Amino acid sequence: MDAGAATQPLPVTDFSRAHAFASGELVREAGGGDLDAFEELVRRLQRRVYGFAFQHLRDPHEAQDLTQEIFVKLFRNLGRYDSERPFEPWFWKLATNATINYRRKRVPLPSEPGEEAADPGATPQAHDPALIEALAQLDPSYRVPVLLHYYADLSLEQVAAALSLSVPAVKSRLHRARGVLRNSLADAEELGQP
């Protein structure tokens, strides 16, 4: 499998421009069965969704798989989207569902940093390997809200809608997750890892 265009990491700040992406018209057309509109929607969403999937799974092939699954699920459920409500929270709720239910196709790669460096074309140099490592150790039910809020830039209300939790519950989960991450990072520092 080729590494494709996987050399230039995309900083999250680029996503703020993408906030205007999913116009209601496009979503309505895609939901009506217009395949070209759906393709355009996929094109606009793919970076963000793939980024989220990649941070969650840390494997480019699995992330591609999960991204594809999310988009197929989007296609199947677009007919049920109520255009009165905002698209983003509904979409991320769907994506979160698919992520939580995702079953890995391959045996998960061992999460030692040495193994990742063995395949230089596939994963870029991580700017923050300690945080990546700590995230990988985090329980998925904590990792997903962290990624939704800090990486995909969803508001607390949107995260709460995506996870079917109350806002205080999301806050407490985020606090706890950050505490765990902080402890992992502190332990890693003590052991002298970069």
Partner 1 sequence: MISCPRVRVLLEAYADGDLAADDAARVRAHLSTCADCRRQHDQAVSLPFRLRALSSPAPRASLVGDVMRAVGAERAGYRRSWTLLVPEAVLAAFILWYLSGFDGLSSIASGVFGDLLSLGSGSLPHLPPVDVVLLVALIALVVVAAFHLSILVRLAAPRPAHE
Partner 2 sequence: MSELRRRPWAWLVLIGVLAVAGIFLAVVDISMGGKWPTPFAEAMVGPTLVQQDSGKAVTLRFDRNRVGEKILFAPPFAGFDPISPYQALRAFLTNGAGLILLALAALVAFPTRARSAVERLEARHGAEIALGAGIVMVLLTLAATTLLRFTLLFLGVVPLVLLVALVAALFGVACISLAIGRLIHRRLGLATAHPLVAALAGALVVFDLAVIPYAGVFALAAVAMAGLGLAVVTRFGSSGGWTFVDLNF
140 binds, among partner 2, partner 1, none (CB under 5 to 8 A by kind): none
80 binds, among partner 1, partner 2, none (CB under 5 to 8 A by kind): partner 2
Q: CA nearest 70: which of 38, 44, 43, 102?
A: 102
Q: CA nearest 10: which of 39, 46, 38, 43?
A: 46
Nearer to partner 2, 78 or 152 (CB): 78
Q: CA nearest 141: which of 177, 190, 98?
A: 177
CA–CA distance from 136 to each of 34, 125, 172, 184 (Å)? 39, 16, 20, 11
180 binds, among partner 2, partner 1, none (CB under 5 to 8 A by kind): none
Our CA angle for 33, 102, 144, nearest 5°, is 100
Q: Where do contacts with partner 1 occur on this chain (CB under 8 A)?
A: 2, 4-12, 35, 38-39, 42-43, 46-47, 50-52, 54-55, 60, 63-65, 67-69, 71-73, 75-76, 98, 101, 123-124, 127-128, 131-132, 146, 150-151, 153, 171, 174-176, 178-179, 181-182, 185-186
List contacts with partner 2 (CB under 8 A): 73, 75-80, 97, 101, 103-105, 107
